[in-house]
Chain A
Amino acid sequence: MKPNLKQSLIEHLESVRLDDARLDELEALQRTRSARSWWHSRTLQLFAAACLLVALVVSWLPFEQPDLLHAIAEEAVMNHLAQTPLEVHGTTIAELDGHFDQLGFRLVEPLAPAEGARLLGGRYCSLQGVTAAQLRRHDAQGRTQNLYQVPYRPASMGELPDPALGEQPRTLEMRGLRVDLWVERGLLFALTRD
């Protein structure tokens, strides 16, 4: 008498077995791959998380991405040290403004008072390829200061303090000089001093 379908099925399926060699291979695969695969995927996850964290930090701390800003400050310091002769002389911004007709903006009187400082004149200069105004003055002790004005690009320069909002300028030290950086009315100001 023939076995019933279920019995035949069970016998048939039970006869389907992996041989010992194949079982050994699969066990070896599990031993070697379980740790490695997990470590690999965990490493990728950690790497992705680290990249995300860096991106967040960078986006949250715009002051920490001032490559262009540093370059501008460095160039301002170099101009300061070069002491290139002035193109125009005057003691007020209004006097000088007429000379700077190639800037694409009007010179701005800084909000912060330069106590005891005396304006000497100005010249065109270039900061990172952008035409800028370099205004030279002496402070109360006769030390030279250079005030630079250039169009402000927040996307590349990052957020900068605005004295109109009660913020203090950002200060960098370069080549032994102090550079103050801030924004006023759409212009980036850089002040170098001896």
Chain B
Amino acid sequence: MKRRGLFYLQLGFTLLVCAFLVVPVFLSIMAGLTVNYFVGIESGLTLRWVMEVWNGYRDTIFLSIGLSLACLAVTLVIGVPAAYVLAKRQTALTRALEEMLVLPVAVPGLATALALIVTYGSLSGFRTSWAFILVGHVLFTLPFMVRSVLAVLSAIDLKTLEEGAASLGAGFWPRFRDIVLPNCRQGILAGSLMVVTLSMGEFNMTWLLHTPFTKTLPVGLADAYASLRLEIGSAYTLVFFLMIMPLLLALQAFAKPRPAKFVAEDAE
């Protein structure tokens, strides 16, 4: 009897936490689709606010998508090889490097952004281009790609697999192509989703790094929250949800462990 009571107490608590997280999302979606949120749903539903966002902030959406894809490309090209080296050579030096790579995540984005501005802000061609924001995003997301790939590479017996390939005649680059890359596919995929999602939502750095011509979606959101009516802010948030929803769902699907396969000894 006591046990069931405890169960329902915990369930109730968990439902409350869920409500805390989910209710504002619903409120904001409703607000974005309501003619007048202050009056309430009676005022009717409309797509007017969403259209206003589309007309006013379309560019931020495209810039954010472009930025996140560029960020993904860079982190793939520089992050995956780095993760491989870190997995392969476990020395004090590589461990220190791994620690350092995480610094841009540990250090507040504001600090990183300021550092970039005081160092490269005077290169006006660079400062005003979207590449300036890209640099910040790469710093911030690179550890996630590296860690994700590294986690997979550490979980498999990379050394023996490579020795196996070498014993069959495969040199360094064929091994990297045929054995290393295919076997860290899962990590690359999970890392890619993470990189795109984070780049899409990055604000702390981007707010300082952006210029009026390089506004990303979260920057536009902050603008809208500060200066426009609640319904437009909500509609804009709705657009953002729609964009990251597939990414988040994919990430969740990835986080689920695959059922372990049991293979019995066949009758041989």
A and B assemble together: no
A interface residues, Cβ below 8 angstroms from B = none
B interface residues, Cβ below 8 angstroms from A = none
